[in-house]
A and B are shown apart, each in its own frame.
Chain A
Amino acid sequence: MDDMYREVIVERYKNPAYRGSLDHSDITFEDENPLCGDHIRIDLRVDENGIIKEAAFDGHGCAISQASADLLLESVIGKSVEDIKKLNKDNVLELLGIDLGPVRLKCALLPLKIIKAGVYGLGEATDDLVE
Chain B
Amino acid sequence: MANREPAGFDVNKIREDFPILQREVHPGVKLVYLDSSATSQKPQAVIQAMDDYYRSYNANIHRGVHTLAEEATAIYEEARIKIAGFIGANKASEVVYTRNATESINLVAQSWGRKFLKSSDIVVLTEMEHHSNLVPWQMLATELGIELEFIPVTDDGLLDLDAYNRLLEKGPKLVSVTQYSNVLGTINPIKEITIKAHQAGALVMVDGAQSVPHIPVSVKDLDIDFLAFSAHKMVGPTGIGALWAREALLKEMPPFMGGGDMIKKVYLRSFTHNDIPHKFEAGTPAIAEAIGFGAAVDYLTAIGMENIASYELELTGYAIARLKGIQGLHLLGPEAEKRGGVTAFEIEGIHPHDVAQILDQDGIAVRAGHHCAMPLHDRYNLPATTRASYYLYNTKDEVDKLVESIYKVKRVFAA
Which residues of chain A have a CB within 8 Å of any CB of chain B? 1-2, 4-5, 7, 10-11, 13-14, 35-39, 60-64, 104, 107
CA distance A39 to B352 in the complex (A): 14
Q: Is the beta-carbon distance between A10 and B351 smaller than 8 angstroms? A: no
Interface stretch (choices B1-9, B95-103, B272-280, B353-361): B353-361
CA distance A27 to B188 in the complex (A): 49
Residue pairs across A and B with CB atoms within 8 Å: the count is 53
Which residues of chain B have a CB within 8 Å of any CB of chain A? 26, 349-354, 357-358, 360-361, 368-370, 377, 383-384, 412-413, 415
Known: A10-B412, A11-B415, A14-B413. A36 touches B361 (CB 8 A): no
Nearest 4 interchain pairs by C-beta: A37-B383, A62-B351, A62-B353, A63-B354
Q: Is the beta-carbon distance between A60 and B413 smaller than 8 angstroms? A: no
Most buried by B among A1, A36, A107: A36
CA distance A13 to B357 in the complex (A): 15
Q: Is the beta-carbon distance between B413 and A2 smaller than 8 angstroms? A: no
Which of chain B's residues have a CB closer than 8 A to the CB of A39?
383
CA distance A10 to B349 in the complex (A): 11
Q: At the interface, is chain A mostly helix, strand, loop or mixed?
A: helix
Which residue from B351, B361, B369, B377 sits with its C-beta under 8 Å from A61? B351
Known: A14-B413, A60-B383. A5 touches B358 (CB 8 A): yes
Most buried by A among B350, B353, B360, B413: B353
Which of chain B's residues have a CB closer than 8 A to the CB of A62?
351-354
A9 to nearest B CB, angstroms?
9
Q: Is the beta-carbon distance between B353 and A104 smaller than 8 angstroms? A: yes
Q: Is the beta-carbon distance between A35 and B361 smaller than 8 angstroms? A: no
CA distance A13 to B358 in the complex (A): 16
Which residue from A5, A35, A37 sits with its C-beta under 8 Å from B412? A5
23 A–B contacts from the bound complex (CB under 8 Å): A1-B357, A1-B360, A2-B361, A4-B357, A5-B354, A5-B358, A7-B415, A10-B412, A10-B413, A10-B415, A11-B415, A14-B413, A36-B352, A36-B370, A36-B383, A36-B384, A37-B370, A37-B377, A38-B351, A61-B353, A62-B352, A62-B354, A64-B353
